[in-house]
Amino acid sequence: MSSFFLLIFLIIIQPWSIKHIQAQKNIFILAGQSNMAGRGGVTNDTKTSVTTWDGVVPPECNPSSSILKLNAHLKWVEAHEPLHQDIDMLKTNGIGPGMVFANFVLKKNSQLGLVGLVPCAIGGTNISEWEKGKVLYNHMMKRVKASLNDGGSVRALLWFQGESDTVSLRDAQSYQTRVHKFFIDVRDDLQSPLLPIIQVALATGLGPYIEIVRQAQMSIDLLNLKTVDAKGLPLQPDGLHLSTPAQINLGKIMADAFLQFIPSSSHIYHNVSSISNEATSSIGISSCVSHIYMLPLFITFLTMMSQTFL
Ligand SMILES: *[C@@H]1O[C@H](CO)[C@@H](O)[C@H](O)[C@H]1NC(C)=O
Ligand SMILES: *[C@@H]1O[C@H](CO)[C@@H](O)[C@H](O)[C@H]1NC(C)=O
Ligand SMILES: *[C@@H]1O[C@H](CO)[C@@H](O)[C@H](O)[C@H]1NC(C)=O
């Protein structure tokens, strides 16, 4: 008789589980400065100093009903370029890596479902401004927590920053300690100690100490941190910002880096889920795994029922 009740329970729970999986958003945090916000196709009129975006959206950056973004009002909307337009409001935004990343991840892994982008990058900012407790950090965390309100899980932090920390030797030398602390703080606050992080090693900088910051980025030793290199990608005429073709390249490289986390990540997520709290955890994969795991059980009970009642 108890198996009968279990069966009823499974019948009730199973369609809910499947619906739950479909509604799961794969959330990505996009943070850093201008090259993450996106300046591809943005030019500066040398006479008037007016910056404009050329409005060119390559197919790799096209919108899709599977790619959402959390807008400045903390609402999910269909994402389109320029992704950071309502976030990095004081600057002219163009093409960044975010849309390419999302399109490419979905192309390579069509079972993933929905991608939810949370743009947080602000042009011209230095690593000290991203320190836990300061405005940019709080703004980002507020947005991430809001993004989790109607389900989903944070899959990765995408980080491209440091150009502003190449001006003074002291800042460049402090970069590693500061960015390391930033990554740890984000993981702590999301209660996701192994949250995948994909950081971009600088292509350019505002000052002379680019190599010091790059070295700092390359030598951070954290589990589940992948560093991809933007050095050598084509730049806008300003010599500071990645061009649209460069951003397309970068978005794909970042997507590849993220996809490397997927095959082996179910164990990692499983462990993380046991110590995360429901609201802010990255339990996406493990919850899918556990629901799918119930399916054979469900079928067995269906078979049992048909034998009992027919
Ligand atoms: C545009 O160019 C002018 C002159 O070269 C420069 O002073 C200004 O900072 C530039 N603005 C941007 C947003 O790049
Ligand atoms: C970071 O930027 C802020 C705002 O522009 C500035 O006040 C601060 O001095 C900078 N900090 C460092 C360490 O460069
Ligand atoms: C994750 O869990 C598995 C199985 O419970 C265990 O063998 C492994 O050591 C755990 N890994 C970590 C990083 O805790």
Q: What is the pLDDT of residues 207-253, one digit of tens each?
A: 999 999 999 999 999 999 999 999 999 999 999 999 999 999 999 99
Residue 19 clears pLDDT 50, i.e. is over it: no
Could you tell me if the CB of 48 is within 6 A of ligand 1?
no
Give the tens place of pLDDT for each residue, 47-69. 998 999 999 999 999 999 999 99
What is the distance in A from the centroid of ligand 1 to the CA of 161? 20
pLDDT band at 301 (very low <50, low <70, confident <90, very high): confident
The DSSP 8-state label assigned to residue 58 in this structure reads -
pLDDT of residue 6: 65
pLDDT at 128 over 70: yes
Is the entire prediction scored with pTM above 0.75? yes
Domain ranges of the chain: 22-67+87-309
Least confident range of 2-6, 64-68, 263-267? 263-267
- Active-site entry in 88, 165, 171, 241: 241
Q: What value does the mean pLDDT take over residues 117-130?
A: 98
pLDDT tens for 167-182 read 999 999 999 999 999 9
* Ligand having the closest approach to the CA of 170: 2
CATH number for the domain whose boundaries are 22-67+87-309: 3.40.50.1110
Give the span between the Cα atoms of 263 and 254, in whole angstroms.
16
User: Pick the residue with more confidence: 129 or 281?
Assistant: 129
Q: What is the atom index within ligand 2 of the atom nearest the CA of 125?
A: 2
Residues with CB under 6 A from ligand 3: 267, 271
- Whether the CB-CB separation of 66 and 123 falls below 8 Å is answered with no
pLDDT band (50, 70, 90) for residue 306: confident
Please tell me which residue, 118 or 18, carries the higher pLDDT value. Answer: 118
Q: Name the residue at shortest CA distance from atom 2 of ligand 1.
A: 49
Confidence of residue 111 (pLDDT cuts 50, 70, 90): confident
Place 4 in a pLDDT band, splitting at 50, 70 and 90. Answer: low
| CA pair distance 106, 160, nearest whole angstrom | 21
User: Would the pLDDT of 187 be above 70?
Assistant: yes
How far apart are the CA of 283 and the centre of ligand 3, in A?
A: 15
Indicate if ligand 1 lies below 6 Å from the C-beta of 92.
no
pLDDT-based confidence at residue 11 (cuts at 50, 70, 90)? low
**C-beta neighbour count of 269 within 10 angstroms:** 26
Cβ-count burial 44-70 (b if 16+ within 10 Å, e if not) = beeeeeeeebeeebbebbebbebbbbb
Residue 220, C-beta contacts closer than 8 angstroms, at least 6 positions apart = 176, 179, 180, 183, 199, 227
Residue 194 and residue 275 in contact, taking contact as beta carbons nearer than 8 Å: no
Q: Is the pLDDT of residue 294 over 70?
A: no
84 C-alpha to ligand 3 centroid (Å): 38
Is residue 194 within 8 Å of 137, Cβ to Cβ? no
Q: Cα of 128 to ligand 2 centre, how many Å?
A: 7
- Residue 267 appears among annotated catalytic residues: no
Look at residue 269 in the predicted model and tell me its pLDDT: 44
